[in-house]
Amino acid sequence: MSTNESNAYELTYQRALEDPEGFWADAADALHWDARWERVLDARNAPLYRWFTGGQLNICYNAIDRHVETGRGDQAAVIYDSPVTGIKRTITYRELQDEVARFAGVLTSLGVTKGDRVIIYMPMTPETLIGMYACARIGAVHSVVFGGFAPNELAVRIDDAQPKVVLTASCGIEVQRIVPYKPLLDQALALATHQPAHCVVLQRPVHPCERTSGRDLDWHAAHVAASPVPCVPVDATDPLYILYTSGTTGMPKGVVRDHGGHAVALRWSMEHVYGLQPGEVFWAASDFGWAVGHSYIVYGPLLAGCTTVVHEGKPVGTPDAGEFWRVIQEHQVRVLFTAPTAFRAIKREDPNGAHYTRYDTSCLRALFLAGERLDPDTYHWARALIGKPVIDHWWQTETGWPVASNFLGLTSFPVKPGSPTKPVPGYVVEVLDDEGQTVAPNKEGAVVMILPLPPGSLTTLWRNDARYIDTYLTRYPGYYLTGDGGYIDEDGYLFIMGRVDDIIIVAGHNLSTGSIEQALASHPDVAECAVIGVRDALKTQLPVGLVVLKAGVTRAHADIAAELVQKVRSEVGPVANFRQVAVVARLPKTRSGKVLRKTMRLIADGDDWTMPATIDEPATLEEIAEALRGLGHARRS
């Protein structure tokens, strides 16, 4: 490696730190602007910072039309692969331009104009992506709500966003069941105060639905009849979308992303973080309803002139634990981005990697993992299996793109399992104690970022600047509060140990659940695990472990539990007071793969709790409650 290559990260990071306006202006030059900005960074209303004020562009033009005009019209823009329906489809940039322009015409014919909101409640189909881009094309603000959300949660979002139009489908398709979306939407509209003027319904042949006369339009009929419309220049600071954070109840928390800063950050990250070049295939195995889906299924890959994969399936069960490897081989995926929980599921079903050997994945350059803490055991398993770089990186719905990562397009650092490596240029990450003082290396505290955040991060919460400031910017003035706890080591590597509310207090000692989970996950029989703190009259809290075993493990659960208790004692220390562990069939998770630790803690403590709207398998919580009762926790339902 040359000196310039080895210093690429340091030089880039330092420039972004010392000259952020020059740095991001250069990055912005990779896009087409209808009007150049007047200010790169606008601090006149701090701490409500804005990027590229006075500038105008259109993210749809930059992601689609621009590539058609520069010769990429016949390149694949979207590969749709649906093992649950058996449908595969490739859409070129030229075809996508026509479909998006026509659907933008549908929205325009329904009275949708710049600034109007459109709720999108749909499955993993190309039409969802087309709907999102159609909104962006005319300057409408889309808000994607994960398909299958409970009616009351959807109603709250409808009332908050006040959409003029709702885009939906007759159903979603899970591994072994159909989820009727349209009846859920109808229930939500019956609960909502705000009523959209129209709903556009994608009828899926496997489960068509009834349409309400006068309000509901058929997607395909409206699309065919529409006239295409051009891209509308919008202000760089105008809202592109609202994304409600998962699990919100009551008044939702709508993260607002802008057009200009978001486009600049995503375009930069595709090249420098993920190392993609135009024409290559990038697959983010996530869902449109999450931040990953917005940033790295829909917008990021196409801004970079890449091909994006829209996969309607699961890592296991559609049909087996070899699904990821099939998609990589068949579509020549260069970089895969998914959640650690997906690989824990694969590891559980296929611990020896038998399915992996059936496919040729030599095209794969690297695997990126994010969404939940990547435990070292899963890292080592994945690295040994694929023989390619496995890159742990960390970001949030609020940031919209990576905060810390190793890099394919800059310097590649030695890996420290358990760490997402170093901050991405543009972010300044620190760890503070309760008094707001920077802690020493390797000491845990609150992970924060110095303001202003770089382009691409949230600009505010929808119609609630005060809540944005109170939630994120008040606890430590001058900093953005991530809500995560962790530490930075002597080499500048960041370690995220879990949410701040996952810190447990055992006899006066603060312990992160992440450190105990790391010990449990390293046991050879454990596929995945979670640790929660339960109330204790003597020691304040005590840790309880819940573990899922790998497929094929037949040893006595009591023997495994005893080994796990000893493992934590030796690796974390007696101070953890870890004595209780239960073997369970599965962990309760959101549809994005996050383990519902807070809900499990409420159940264990016997507190009132409600079924989270984002839960993937509701029955799992009753199984967990039974396991906790077996350990002497949780009241009977």
Instruction: Tell me: pLDDT of 4 over 70.
Output: no
Residue (of 479, 460, 425) closest to 51 by Cα position: 460
Percent of the chain whose predicted confidence (pLDDT) is above 70: 96
Provide the strand spans (E) within 415-458: 422-423, 429-432, 445-450
Q: What pLDDT digit, counting tens, does each position of 82-134 carry? A: 999 999 999 999 999 999 999 999 999 999 999 999 999 999 999 999 999 99
Q: What pLDDT digit, counting tens, does each position of 307-326 carry? A: 999 999 999 999 999 999 99
Query: Model's pTM, two decimal places?
Result: 0.86
Residue 249 has what pLDDT? 39
Is residue 336 classed as helix, strand or coil in its secondary structure? strand
Question: For the residues of 35-79, what is the DSSP string, one character each?
Answer: B--SEEEE-TTTTS-EEEET-EE-HHIIIIIHHIIIIITTSEEEE
In the structure, what pLDDT confidence band is assigned to residue 1 with cuts at 50, 70 and 90? Answer: very low
In the structure, what pLDDT confidence band is assigned to residue 294 with cuts at 50, 70 and 90? Answer: very high
555: tokens are 């040893």
Residue (of 595, 442, 451, 440) closest to 532 by Cα position: 595
Mean pLDDT check: name the lowest of 247-251, 298-302, 485-489, 556-560. Answer: 247-251
Dist. CA 578–CA 609, nearest whole Å:
25
In the structure, what pLDDT confidence band is assigned to residue 2 with cuts at 50, 70 and 90? Answer: very low
Dist. CA 388–CA 382, nearest whole Å:
9
In the structure, what pLDDT confidence band is assigned to residue 245 with cuts at 50, 70 and 90? Answer: confident
Does 604 or 269 have the greater pLDDT score? 269
| Residue 7, C-beta contacts closer than 8 angstroms, at least 6 positions apart | 411
Mean of the pLDDT values across residues 279-298? Answer: 96
491: tokens are 């080499």
In the structure, what pLDDT confidence band is assigned to residue 188 with cuts at 50, 70 and 90? Answer: very high
Mean pLDDT check: name the lowest of 66-75, 215-224, 447-456, 591-600. Answer: 591-600
Residue corresponding to tokens 């507190």 = 607
Residue 510 has what pLDDT? 61
Instruction: Tell me: pLDDT of 501 over 70.
Output: no
Residue 549 has what pLDDT? 95
In the structure, what pLDDT confidence band is assigned to residue 201 with cuts at 50, 70 and 90? Answer: very high
Three-state secondary structure of 288-306: CCCHHHHHHHHHHHHHCCC
Residue 3 has what pLDDT? 46
Mean pLDDT of the chain: 93
Residue 570 has what pLDDT? 81
Mean of the pLDDT values across residues 18-22? Answer: 98
Instruction: Tell me: pLDDT of 628 over 70.
Output: yes
Residue (of 17, 15, 11, 10) closest to 449 by Cα position: 17
Radius of gyration from C-alpha coordinates of the chain: 24
Percent of the chain whose predicted confidence (pLDDT) is above 90: 79
Residue 153 has what pLDDT? 82
Q: What pLDDT digit, counting tens, does each position of 212-241 carry? A: 999 999 999 999 999 999 999 999 999 999
CB 564 within 8 A of CB 585: no
CB 237 within 8 A of CB 52: yes
Look at strands 307-311 and 178-180 and give their pairing.
unpaired
Look at strands 494-499 and 479-488 and give their pairing.
antiparallel
In the structure, what pLDDT confidence band is assigned to residue 508 with cuts at 50, 70 and 90? Answer: low
256-278 CB burial, b ≥16 within 10 A, e <16: bbbbbbbbbbbbbbbbbbbbbee
Instruction: Tell me: pLDDT of 250 over 60.
Output: no
In the structure, what pLDDT confidence band is assigned to residue 174 with cuts at 50, 70 and 90? Answer: confident
Dist. CA 152–CA 109, nearest whole Å:
29
Q: Check whether the bond before 574 is cis (ω within 30° of 0).
A: no
174-180 contact pairs (CB < 8 A, 24+): 174/84, 175/84, 175/314, 175/317, 175/318, 176/317, 178/206, 178/207, 179/147, 179/148, 180/207, 180/209
List of domains in the chain: 3-205+219-313+393-486 (3.40.50.12780), 507-630 (3.30.300.30)
In the structure, what pLDDT confidence band is assigned to residue 6 with cuts at 50, 70 and 90? Answer: low
Q: What pLDDT digit, counting tens, does each position of 457-481 carry? A: 999 999 999 999 999 999 999 999 9
Residue 439 to residues 119, 434, 445, 448, 491: CA-CA distances in angstroms? 43, 10, 7, 12, 15
Q: Check whether the bond before 524 is cis (ω within 30° of 0).
A: no
CB 587 within 8 A of CB 616: no
Mean of the pLDDT values across residues 499-515? Answer: 70
Q: Find the length of the chain.
A: 637
Residue 454 to residues 16, 436, 587: CA-CA distances in angstroms? 9, 22, 35
219-225 contact pairs (CB < 8 A, 24+): 219/127, 219/167, 219/169, 222/106, 222/109, 223/99, 223/102, 223/103, 223/106
Residue (of 593, 147, 85) closest to 338 by Cα position: 593
Residue 636 has what pLDDT? 56
Residue 539 has what pLDDT? 72
Residue 10 to residues 4, 15, 20, 424, 495: CA-CA distances in angstroms? 10, 9, 15, 10, 19
